[in-house]
Structure 1
């Protein structure tokens, strides 16, 4: 009798295991599809960016996520061959409060503490005033990185970026992307004004963005706009070799840079395959 009961118990256990395996085979794919659907919609909700808003674009970003930076707040080293070794920012106050929530790779967007429409317009106005001074040799055209918004470009870049792009702003949240001298990038990191782009790790990833590519948090008030403009000025200095706060011949940086403009012209395939200056762009003055 005990032997028969034992056999029946084994049969019941086998049936339960078989049922569990069957349920797992049915439920797991459903849960996976549900996760992918929600994750895809979350990615689309970040808005347009440098990656097409398609399933193929989503798959590309998921693959890139395997190699991106795990710590976007990790300081950058200053390579010994960089000239100059020091950056532009002499001082920058600490940003008040906690860092905002940032998500995404391409696009990378700020989810919390976004700029109001008035603050964003003030930021754009400050950027346009930099363009108005012909001595700064700056112009506005479609971002080579984003392709859906406009940004500042140097007409005579001396540091390698995508087509000489200095920075671009995101009308949807007020944040910005820009390339900075590593020392300036570290000042921004230390004082809480931004973080590194997930793909800004150098090496093969330079195909997408420079190692010094940064997300600068959206200014929350007019005082923070002033600090944002100071950081933009540092980006202009690094990419264009121009100090926008000086006048005349003093604007030009006398230090010899290692990365010359001839490299910048061939740096970004995307800038040749996307029409910079297209009318179908989200202008800096827009706000969504």
Structure 2
């Protein structure tokens, strides 16, 4: 496992977001082709099934670990769900469960923000909303963040 995500600073201003439930990104969504590439990559990871999210808005696609996969249960949001990608109009932002240090780095470097429930002290630090990738370069960074969530869950390194 890596010691740090070592993310660069996200370029530009922070997107507008909502701070209630549902927690959503309002501006700066990536183009469909970039979001589709991210979604395809996420659901191609070994042991990951695509399913309806148990905790997100209708149409959100969840990364759910196979029942038989050995996993770190602290990495689950609910059931065996480790992340979910939001549908349009909030195209491509996602909620992801990460180790605490990685979640803090994602927020510090501007790639996301703590989930509303974390801000309300109803969930521990680790659940973050990661912003939609706006281009190929950002897609690579978002894959590294999603990959970290996968590694946290499975204990296995992957190449983004």
Q: What TM-score do the two structures reach when normalised by structure 1?
A: 0.49
CA separation in 1, counterparts of 2:120 and 2:125?
4
Kept in 2, the 8 Å contact 1:180–1:238? The answer is: yes
Deviation (angstroms), 1:87: 6.2
Partner secondary structure for residue 73 of structure 2: coil
- Larger Rg computed on CA atoms: 1
User: What does 1:239-278 correspond to in 2, within 5 Å?
Assistant: 239-245=153-159
- Across the two proteins, how many residue pairs are aligned to each other? 152
- Of residues 215, 219, 242 in structure 1, which corresponds to 2:133? 219
Kept in 1, the 8 Å contact 2:85–2:93? The answer is: yes
CA separation in 1, counterparts of 2:3 and 2:63?
18
Deviation (angstroms), 1:202: 8.0
| Structure (1 or 2) with the greater strand fraction | 2
Kept in 1, the 8 Å contact 2:103–2:125? The answer is: no
Deviation (angstroms), 1:141: 1.2
Kept in 2, the 8 Å contact 1:154–1:240? The answer is: no
Unaligned runs of 5+ in 2: none
Kept in 2, the 8 Å contact 1:115–1:218? The answer is: yes
User: Residue 120 of structure 1 corresponds to which residue in structure 2?
Assistant: 35
Kept in 2, the 8 Å contact 1:88–1:184? The answer is: no
Partner secondary structure for residue 129 of structure 1: coil
| Structure (1 or 2) with the greater helix fraction | 1
Deviation (angstroms), 1:147: 5.5
CA separation in 1, counterparts of 2:141 and 2:41?
11
What's the CA shift string for 1:53-107, capped at 9, x where partnerless? xxxxxxxxxxxxxxxxxxxxxxxxxxxxxxxxx9654411111011111114221
User: Residue 48 of structure 2 corresponds to which residue in structure 1?
Assistant: 138
CA separation in 2, counterparts of 1:240 and 1:105?
31
Structure 1 stretches (4+) deviating beyond 4 angstroms? none
- Of residues 108, 126, 142 in structure 2, which corresponds to 1:228? 142
Deviation (angstroms), 1:221: 0.7
Q: Whose relative contact order is higher, 1 or 2, with alpha carbons under 8 Å and at least 6 apart? A: 2
Unaligned runs of 5+ in 1: 1-85, 131-135, 247-288
CA separation in 2, counterparts of 1:159 and 1:198?
21
User: Residue 150 of structure 1 corresponds to which residue in structure 2?
Assistant: 61
Deviation (angstroms), 1:237: 1.3
